[in-house]
Structure 1
Amino acid sequence: MGLLGTAFGLALLVALSYRGWTVLILAPLAALIAAAFAGEPLLANWTQVFMVAAAGFLAQFFPLFLLGAIFGKLMEDSGSVQAIARFMIATLSPRRALLAVVLAGAAVTYGGVSLFVAFFVLAPMAQALFRAADLPVRLMPPAIALGTSTFTMSAMPGTPAIQNAIPMPFFGTTAFAAPGLGLIASLIMLGFGMWWLNRVERLARDAGEGYQPVDPEASRDVAHDAHLRERGNMAGHFDPAELGRGEPSPVLMPTLPGSLAAAAPLCTVVLVNLLLSLWLLPRLDTSYLADARFGNTGLAAVGGVWAVLISLSVAIVLLLVLHRGRLSDLRASVDAGANAAVLPVLSVASLVGFGAVVASLPAFGLVREWVLGIGGGPLVSLAVSTNLLSALTGSASGGLTIALEALGPIFMDLARHTGLDPALMHRVAVIGAGTLDSLPHNGAVVSLLAVCGCTHRDSYRDIVMVGIVGALIALIVVILLGGLVGCF
């Protein structure tokens, strides 16, 4: 009965969240259903298991959500995101429109700009570029998705994406875990994705298909669509409802900042993160972390998160030094960014609570045995578990946190006994979470299509190829190389 209750609770969570119900209600409800079927005490599971796990996630990751959202909002309101995208587009020209959109999206998201901020900035620029290149608008969503939601989210070493941060406390790793394998995976995703996009562009031109203006009614106001907002908050880490708050200075904008000044904060995030992760933090005396008031922990458990927090903080300060005059209402921009972090982090924390309740039930032992019994070793088991849970929840971060909350300590024990490098498990887990999360019910997919004025029928097949197939190929290669030659 316990397994049946878990399956029913998960089905309810997936079905109603797809309809726009808030996961803040659905996750505890699904957890209580699973506990009821197992004959477990309901209130104890809610307050002592669900809430403790959710609070633990908040304690670890809310600062990352907060600073990431504020940084993304300041980058948008200062015109820096627009300047970087415009530079990429102008440099590559309409003849390479698809590559320009992909690289513009990759540049801003690898530097720490939130996914939804990138969507709303890139879409209008891509529209103009596609009009000049006479390309069908249906290719906009896969081009934006390839640049923003694939290799810069899960594979590039040092990416500040929350998905890349989630495994760090579990495995004692940093954002630069398995850098060589991450770069190989990134090249595979980018190369395969561009091959596919160039192929469909060629077929479209051969068929005489060109740019068609988007029907204004087809592009909904995603930022204020409550249905899409709830679904988007499970997949992204910036509440779309806050996109309209905080405005750039009307005096200095329409003049965008220079491309170097615009890119400097993004580069700072990556460089400071690298410096802290590989050199500064390991040389500090952090023995005080073993004190009970600091959780009896060590640098391995917190160092990766600290490095990202400091790098985002330094980048925000630099952004304010360079672009303060371009922000007409700094408080409104900061408030909007802070508010934009709250609903996404609570949504993911609720999913973590659900996973903790399920993992505590006696029947979960059967699931654990099935996952660990999958042929191919721990890396395959880890990849399958993160893939399946991300697919079910429609959220890479949600699926990843549920998987690691339930199975992370077991995988760490396996790593110790088999000699696997935790950094390799980190990279496999993140890439695995970023594959089947892009199924049709994914909130980011639905939001991106709406922003571009397209439908699933128009663009989803190409999103599957660049966002799922390419990532799966990269995942397989990483597992094979990691198994053969180890982590590098």
Structure 2
Amino acid sequence: MGTLGILISLALLMYLAYRGINVLILAPLLALLALLFSGEVAMLLPTYTQVFMKAMGGYVMQFFPLFLLGALFGKLMDDSGSARAIAHGIVAKVGSQRAILAIVLACGILTYGGVSLFVVAFAVYPIGAALFREAGIPKRLIPGAIALGSFTFTMTALPGTPAIQNAIPNPFFGTDAFAAPGLGLIAGLIMFGLGTWWLSSQARKLKAAGEGYGEHRDDPIAQDDRGIPGFWLALLPILLVIALNYLMAKQVLPNIDASFLAKPEFGGLQDAKSLIGIWSIIVALAAAILLLVGLHWRRWANLQKSVNDGAFGSMLPILNTAAEVGYGTVIASLAGFVIIRDLVLGVSSNPLISEAVAVNILAGITGSASGGMSIALKTLGEQYLSLATAAGISPELLHRVAAMASGCMDTLPHNGAVISLLAICKLTHRESYKFIFVNTVGFPMVALVVVIMLGTMFGSF
């Protein structure tokens, strides 16, 4: 009954999230529903306050700086006109005749630099709409192009990306954002290459069948871009994020004397290995924010409002993800979870395959890459690290596989980012989801399989 309760709880989580009920409400209620099936009625309140809330609070404590700084950086990039400047610059360099490639590259550069995918979608969509209309490419391909550039290779594969999905494995495996860089680059090229090729072939096929951009009365009005900064000036904070993240992770922080971490007030840690990855991203984003403010000092209409809006914009994403972590922690504490855990661990003797399956399943159920991976690593991360160590598999390879697996099944139809992207583009699932699915589930899965094969044969590189 306990295992059945967990399965019913998971099914309801996926269905009700798709129906639009917020996970802050769903997560505790459905976690306690699974507890009821296990027959532990007297444990409802203790489980809620001592297990669910403790895990939720722990996640916020660990990752809130990344959510806060990421949201703030994205808002400032948007309000300063830098995001639009970069998108326009890419279009100018690639050429409007390559509209799909231009949009994918613009989204990729922005998200690789730490700009949130929601900011990117709002900034790039008007430009994409104008380009696609001019080129006669069906509008329903725009969400697929934005999703390819924002939800795939820059989110989980490219080394050094400050995306939260690339930071979550750090404390579990003692890695940093540059884990398995060679494999990450190969995976990124697979996603980028297959995605742009397929979208371009779909555009040619639809145009040959007589389908053009279409009539869309609700298209965005062209924005006045006379006051936006130049391309290279706009790109400077993004370059700083990437460079400083690398320097802090590889050169500066590993050489500090971290013996003070052994004190009780710092958690009694033996070294800073599990913290360096997160510290590096914090320093890089904070420095880039200060640079942004200084570079565009005369361009801010209301800097205080931009800062406040960016800070407030970080609240709901981290609380949603933290609630999913609390849910997963409760599920993992139930006796019925042992059966599920053993099934997942028994999928393959190769811990990379088992890890990929577990993260994919949970990301698909929760509709969240960060939420699904957090649940998987919090419940099974220690076992995977132990199995990998015994098999001679490096933690860096575990990191890259976990991050990439989180970006496959997460974008099923109930995913919040998918729903938001379609709303921004004023299109429906029926019109455009096919192009999102192939680019954000199909091709990332291909890249993940290639990385697991290469990693198994040659190790991490």
TM-score normalised per structure 2: 0.97
Amino acid at match of 1:67: L
Q: Among 250, 253, 261, which residue is 1:278 paired with?
A: 250
The residue aligned with 2:449 is 476
Output aligned runs, 1:87-236, within 5 Å: 87-216=89-218
Structure 1 moving runs of 4+ over 3 Å: none
Amino-acid identity (%):
52
1:256 aligns with 2:228: yes
- Report the secondary structure of 1:154's partner residue: helix
Amino acid at match of 1:142: G
For the residues of structure 2 that align with 1:303 and 1:274, how far apart are their CA atoms? Answer: 11
Q: Among 247, 261, 274, which residue is 1:301 paired with?
A: 274
Amino acid at match of 2:235: A
For the residues of structure 2 that align with 1:158 and 1:23, how far apart are their CA atoms? Answer: 30
Amino acid at match of 1:469: G
1:462 aligns with 2:445: no
1:485 aligns with 2:458: yes
The residue aligned with 2:10 is 10
Instruction: Give the deviation of 1:52 after TM superposition.
Output: 1.0
The residue aligned with 1:78 is 80
Amino acid at match of 1:468: V
Worse-superposed segment, 349-358 or 319-328: 319-328
The residue aligned with 2:290 is 317
Instruction: Give the deviation of 1:45 after TM superposition.
Output: 0.9
- Report the secondary structure of 1:401's partner residue: helix
1:24 aligns with 2:24: yes
For the residues of structure 2 that align with 1:377 and 1:483, how far apart are their CA atoms? Answer: 8
Instruction: Give the deviation of 1:318 after TM superposition.
Output: 0.7
Instruction: Give the deviation of 1:376 after TM superposition.
Output: 4.9
CA deviation profile, 1:425-482 (whole Å, cap 9, x unmatched): 0100111110011111111112111211222222221212211111011000000000
Amino acid at match of 1:399: G
Q: Flag structure 2 segments of 5+ consecutive residues without an equivalent.
A: none
For the residues of structure 1 that align with 2:322 and 2:439, how far apart are their CA atoms? Answer: 29
Q: Is this contact kept in 1: 2:169–2:175, CA < 8 A? A: yes
For the residues of structure 2 that align with 1:391 and 1:133, how far apart are their CA atoms? Answer: 35
Worse-superposed segment, 437-446 or 262-271: 437-446
For the residues of structure 2 that align with 1:404 and 1:206, how far apart are their CA atoms? Answer: 47
Q: Is this contact kept in 2: 1:214–1:453, CA < 8 A? A: no
Equivalent residues, number = 456
Instruction: Give the deviation of 1:205 after TM superposition.
Output: 2.4
Instruction: Give the deviation of 1:134 after TM superposition.
Output: 1.5
For the residues of structure 1 that align with 2:119 and 2:413, how far apart are their CA atoms? Answer: 21
Q: Is this contact kept in 2: 1:391–1:399, CA < 8 A? A: yes
1:333 aligns with 2:306: yes
Instruction: Give the deviation of 1:419 after TM superposition.
Output: 1.6
Q: Is this contact kept in 1: 2:329–2:375, CA < 8 A? A: yes
Aligned-residue RMSD, C-alpha: 1.4
The residue aligned with 1:433 is 406
The residue aligned with 2:240 is 268
Output aligned runs, 1:232-243, within 5 Å: none
Instruction: Give the deviation of 1:253 after TM superposition.
Output: 6.2
For the residues of structure 2 that align with 1:339 and 1:189, how far apart are their CA atoms? Answer: 33
For the residues of structure 2 that align with 1:162 and 1:478, how far apart are their CA atoms? Answer: 20
Instruction: Give the deviation of 1:140 after TM superposition.
Output: 0.5
For the residues of structure 2 that align with 1:82 and 1:341, how far apart are their CA atoms? Answer: 21
CA deviation profile, 1:183-235 (whole Å, cap 9, x unmatched): 0000000011011011111112222322223242x99xxxxxxxxxxxxxxxx
Q: Is this contact kept in 2: 1:109–1:148, CA < 8 A? A: yes
Q: Flag structure 1 segments of 5+ consecutive residues without an equivalent.
A: 220-249
**CA distance 1:208–1:376, change in 2 (3 Å):** farther
- Report the secondary structure of 1:409's partner residue: helix
The residue aligned with 2:383 is 410
For the residues of structure 2 that align with 1:346 and 1:80, how far apart are their CA atoms? Answer: 28
Q: Is this contact kept in 1: 2:79–2:306, CA < 8 A? A: yes
